[in-house]
Amino acid sequence: MWFIPPGYVDTVHPDYVCKLHKAIYGLKQAPRAWFDSFNFELFHIGFHASSVDSNLFILHHDTFVIYLLLYVDDIIVTGNSLPFIDHLVSRLATVFDLKILGPLAYFLGLQIEYTFQGLFVRQSKYALDVLTKFNMLNCKPCVTPYSLIVHVNNPIGTLLPDPIVFKSMAGDLEYLTFTKPYLAYSVQQVCQFMSHPTHHHLVPTKRILRYLKGTLHYGIHFQPGPLVLSSYYDADWAGGPLDRKSITGMVVFFGHSPITWSAKKQLTVARSSTKAEYRALATIAAEVSWIRMILHDLGIFLSLSPMLWCDNVSALVLTSNPIFHAHSKHIEVDYHYIHEKVLAKELELNFISTLDQLADIFTKALPSSRFLDLAHKLMGVPSLSLRGDVKALVQAKVKGQAQDDNADDRAVGK
C-alpha cells in the first residue's frame, strides 16, 4: 500500500503517489544512494578508492596528492597543496550542498588541537556530555577504571528493570575508547552483559564513569616519528571465569604514536597458553597486514619489517620453527600462516619482558601503580602533560585507591 505524506495529497487525484527523484534522508536506502552519488562524482574528478577502505579516496595529480575521508555526510580533506584543496572543495560545492568548517577542529566528537609536536586528539566535550547524561558529573574520581576486588563476571544480582540505561552507558563508554585506549579492557568486560545486565554489572560501569571524571582532558598525542610499525600483543589465558575463553589485547604503534588497539575475547576456548598466545599473534598479524596495505595506498612504504613484541617464549619459538607438532597439532592450520609471514620477512618477532609488555593493560585488571605506569607509556608523556600537573594528580589518586575499592564493595553489598 502506498502512502502520501501529510500536506501533499492531491484533492483532484487522491490516488496519486509521489515519485522520488533522490533518496530522502532517514530512509534505509538513503546512505547507499548518497554514497553512490558522491562516489560517482569523486571518480569523475579523478579520485580512486583505497583497496582496503572504501571510505578513503586518493587523488594524485602531478606533484599534488589529496586524501578524502568520508563518513556518511562528514568529510575530511587534506593534502600537500592548499590551493588545490580549495579548488577541489569549490568544485564539489557546485554539485553538493557543502558547509565548509575550515581547519579540522571537531569531527564526530573528536577534538583536534594543533601543537608544536603534532596533533592532540581528545574527547573532553563528549566525555562531559556522557557524565551529564548519567548524572555523574559530581561523582568522586577514582584512580583506575576497574576494581581488583569487584568482579564484573559475578553472576549474582537481580536483572535491571530497564536495561536501556545500561546499554546506553556501555555504548557511550565504548566510543570513548577511540582516544582513551586504557579503557578498552574495562569497557570490554561490561559490554559482555548487554543482553541481561544486573545491578552487579552497573557498579563497575559507574566506576568507569568515575575514572572518566578525573581524566576528562586526557587524549592521544600524534607526533612525527620514524616510519616504523611496532606492535605489542598479549593474551590472558582462560581469563573469562564463566566460559574460560582467553582475552586478546593488542596495540600497534606507527612511529611513536598508537594508531590502533583492542581488547577482545577469543571465540573458542584455548587448551593451552601457547594456543591462546598464538591465536592472539594471528589476530595482530592480520591487523598489521591491513595497516601496511593502508599505508601502501597512502604512498607510504616501510623500509623495515613490522616488529611484533611477544612475552611468551613458546609462541615465539613456534612461529619461527613449528616442529612441536605432537604438542601443538590441536592448533588450527590457518594460524600457521604466521610461520610463512616470518619466513617471508614480512614480520619480525622479538621477545619482551612481561614488565615492559604494553598490551598487558588490555587483558586483565591491574594494580593502580602498574595501570598508571602502562597508561603513561601507552599514551606518551606529551599527551598527559598538556593538561595540568599530572604527577600531583596521580599521587592524589593513588592515595584514595583504598577508599574507592571499599566504596565499591559497599555498593555491591547494597
Q: What is the pLDDT of residues 147-163, one digit of tens each?
A: 776 666 666 678 888 88
> Can you say how many angstroms the Cα of residue 398 is from the centroid of all Cα atoms in its chain?
27
Q: Are residues 77 and 96 in the same domain?
A: yes
On whether residue 377 sits in a domain, the answer given is no
d(CA 306, CA 289): 9
Q: Are residues 247 and 129 in the same domain?
A: no
Q: Are residues 247 and 332 in the same domain?
A: yes
Reduced to 3 states (helix: H, G, I; strand: E, B; else coil), residue 22 is: coil
Q: Are residues 233 and 186 in the same domain?
A: no
Per-residue pLDDT at 392: 40
How many other C-beta atoms are found inside a 10 Å radius of the C-beta of residue 363? 25
On whether residue 183 sits in a domain, the answer given is yes
On whether residue 176 sits in a domain, the answer given is yes
On whether residue 59 sits in a domain, the answer given is yes
- pLDDT confidence band for 132 (50 / 70 / 90): very high
Per-residue pLDDT at 388: 37
Q: Are residues 260 and 325 in the same domain?
A: yes
Residue 294: CATH number of its domain: 3.30.420.10
Q: Quick one: three-class SS letters along 106-162?
A: EECCEEEEECCCCEEEECHHHHHHHHHHCCCCCCCCCCCCCCCCCCCCCCCCCECCC
Q: Are residues 96 and 137 in the same domain?
A: no
Q: Are residues 280 and 319 in the same domain?
A: yes
d(CA 232, CA 251): 5
Written as nine digits, the cell of 356 is 615492559
On whether residue 155 sits in a domain, the answer given is yes
Burial class from Cβ neighbours inside 10 Å (0-12, 13-18, 19+) for residue 127 reads: buried
Total number of domains constituting the chain? 3
DSSP-assigned letters across all residues of 210-226:
HHHHHTTT-EEEE----
On whether residue 113 sits in a domain, the answer given is no
Q: Are residues 87 and 214 in the same domain?
A: no
Q: Are residues 177 and 277 in the same domain?
A: no
The cell 591491513 sits on which residue?
290
Domain range for 356 is 226-362
- Eight-state DSSP code of residue 78: E
Per-residue pLDDT at 330: 60
On whether residue 313 sits in a domain, the answer given is yes
Work out the percent of the chain whose per-residue pLDDT is above 90.
8
On whether residue 382 sits in a domain, the answer given is no
What's the whole-model pTM score? 0.78
Per-residue pLDDT at 268: 81
d(CA 213, CA 199): 21
